[in-house]
Amino acid sequence: MAEAGQWRRPQPIATSFTEEFWAATKEKKLVLQFCPESQKFQHYPRPLSIYCGRRNIEWRQASGRGVVYAYTVTRRGPPEFHGREPYIVASVELDEGVRILSNIINCSVEDIRVLMPVQLCWEPIENGLHYPLFEPAKR
Amino acid sequence: MSDRDIAIIGYAETKSSVQSGRGVYDIAGEVVAGALASAGVDIQEIDGFATCLSQTEATNPFWSPTLADYLGLELDWCQGVDLGGASYLGALARATQAIRAGDCRTAVVMGADAVTTTNRSRMSAYRPEWQWPVGLMGPPGTFGLLTNRYKTEYGLDDNALAKLAVVQREHAILNDNACDKLRKPLTAADYLASRVISDPIRLLDCVMPCDGGSAIIVTSTERAKELGIERMIHPVGYGERTNYRVRDPLVDILDGGHSIAGKKALANAAMSPADIRMFHPYDDFLIAVLLQMEHIGFCGRGESSRFILETDISYRGKFPINTSGGQISAGQPGLAGGGVNVVEAVRQLFGEGGPRQVKNPVNAMTTGIGCIPYIRNWSVSNVMILAAP
């Protein structure tokens, strides 16, 4: 069994149409795909607008604010996460009207709640990139 | 569909087991030979073939024709179905459509998998980029999200899940094909004390993978009569929905495609939920059974716990659920898992349920659930109603 602290976040494997997302994380910016025709965001990134079926996608910066739509506390994770458990995985509903799967950090597993307001924070990963995480909103 | 023009005339199922050491072609041979014998038809009669994919043979891009070659089948219609856990029922539905369209006359529908002996499937798509980095624990993780949301919106009585676990286990003990590893009595206290994997999903909420398979023979009712076959049942309603509300980024994850598929199947059959004699739902997780009951309309949203607690869901009862033990207590033979529920529906309607036979088996509803998308619930929902002549 791995010692606490030895866990390692698996690096995301980017695709040809998600380069903008990961490039923006170098500057700790969360960008989302936006369809100008339907005026709607979409996430996860797609190869076209799921609303109008055209490849007219723009990337727009998100506020980083949202609420926990649903969560689970992982008691025994995939091998890379051994030593990290228990940790919180959540579907975060962003103010932009999309949900993103992430971890809620700086929050005990006893305190996590559905509808809890959360804010964006970042964890450095390889090649100067960052992974978007969330923590309880400070307000 | 309710005109009973299509007939299911035979079936066979292996005993499920963990790390059987068997090849998937061996399992396929056993179930196809068994189904032909059960129907009383020759191999020459078969000109249609539909199979679930197999995790064991997931890297083989030529799966369905190769498997059919192993089985000695010369075909006018051949199809591999890749709808995940909805594949088995989807394959049966596609075979009925092919027969009705005249593409083939008599088809074998089957699934075989030896996933606990050899698993060559590899998940990809959104997972390496959007799921693996946050450590969501596969399907138990997704169902954990779903269940916590359910608890917040409706409240959830764990005693209902415990009752479902215990009754399905009692059924598995009466099913010789169920995995021996699971054929041990289970109490509500055992269920409630089982280890939490991904909050609030317990170990005993989840299916256990195993090796196994099953097959069904389906033809037109007219052809069955020509062959002198008397024992038959009929698919009388079917509905299927893939990617329910995929373009709604704020979709209610407690709603699902079974609301559409169930309504369509019931309309096809000119039935209402109250007309359904028994229910054999796809059960990868216990909570999935509760959600499907709500989606299909056996009870209202948020009312499934109460429904389960107030109803005799055993094979003796008013509304029997998964009388084979379901996949939760009989085991999940990989991508052939849907067959555990579907074949039990056929077996019960043939009156061959043995010690767990449902009385007055006039009809049965069976379902499928396939694939897990990015933070919704499941991708494919299908529902079929089968009826005695």
Domain membership of residue A62 (yes or no) is: yes
**Are residues B249 and A84, on separate chains, in Cβ contact within 8 Å?**
no
Domain that holds residue A48: 19-136
Looking at residue A139, what is its pLDDT? 67
pLDDT classification of B1: cutoffs 50, 70, 90: low
Low-confidence ranges of chain A (pLDDT < 70): 1-5, 139
Residues of B in contact with A14 (CB under 8 A): 129
Does pLDDT of B210 surpass 90? yes
Residue A8 lies in a domain: no
The residues, any chain, with a CB within 8 Å of residue B78's CB and separated by 6 or more, are B48, B49, B50, B64, B65, B68
Over 60: is that where the pLDDT of B366 sits? Answer: yes
Distance from CA of A71 to the nearest CA of B (A): 5
Tokens at residue B26, please?
């061996």
Q: Distance from B147 to chain A by nearest Cα, in Å?
A: 9
Chains A, B: CB contacts within 8 A come to: 114
Q: Tell me the Ramachandran region of residue B91: left when phi exceeds 0, alpha when psi lies from -120 to 50, beta otherwise.
A: alpha
pLDDT band (50, 70, 90) for residue B2: low
CA distances B321 to B70, B184, B312, B383, Å, are 36, 19, 9, 15
Residues 6+ apart with CB under 8 A from B348: B278, B280, B323, B357, B358, B361, B364
CA distance B80 to B128: 26
Question: Which ipTM score applies to this complex?
Answer: 0.94
In a domain, A12, yes or no: no
Residues of B within 8 A of A35 (CB-CB) are none
Q: What pLDDT digit, counting tens, does each position of B89-98 carry?
A: 999 999 999 9
Structural tokens at position B335: 């991508």
The residue-averaged pLDDT of B254-265 equals 98
Give me the mean pLDDT over the B78-99 stretch.
98
Identity of the residue in A14, A70, A71 whose CB atom sits nearest the CB atom of B129: A14
- Rounded CA-CA distance B288/B267 in Å is 23
Least confident of A5-19, B120-134, B167-181: A5-19
- Assess if residue A6 is contained within a domain: no
Which residues, in sequence order, are CB contacts of A39 under 8 Å at separation 6+? none
User: How many domains, in total, are found in chain A?
Assistant: 1
Residue B249 has pLDDT above 50, yes or no: yes
Q: How high is the pLDDT of residue A5?
A: 58
Q: Is the pTM of this model over 0.95?
A: yes
Cβ distance of A77 and B135 shorter than 8 Å: yes
The pLDDT tens digits for B321-363 are: 999 999 999 999 999 999 999 999 999 999 999 999 999 999 9
The 8-class DSSP code of residue B130 comes to I
**Has residue B169 got a pLDDT over 90?**
yes
In a domain, A14, yes or no: no
Q: What is the DSSP string of B279-300?
A: EE---SBHHHHHHHHHHHTSS-
Domains of chain B: 6-121+208-387 (3.40.47.10)
In a domain, A2, yes or no: no
pLDDT above 90 covers what percent of chain B? 98
The alpha-carbon gap from B104 to the nearest alpha carbon of chain A, in Å, equals 36
User: Is residue A5 included in any domain, yes or no?
Assistant: no
Residue A35 within any structural domain of the chain? yes
pLDDT at B123: 85
Query: Phi, psi at residue B113, to the nearest 5°?
Result: -155, 145
Cβ-nearest to B247 among A51, A80, A86? A51
User: Are A91 and B375 a contacting pair at CB < 8 A?
Assistant: yes
User: What's the mean pLDDT in B175-196?
Assistant: 97
Q: What is the mean pLDDT of residues B11-37?
A: 97
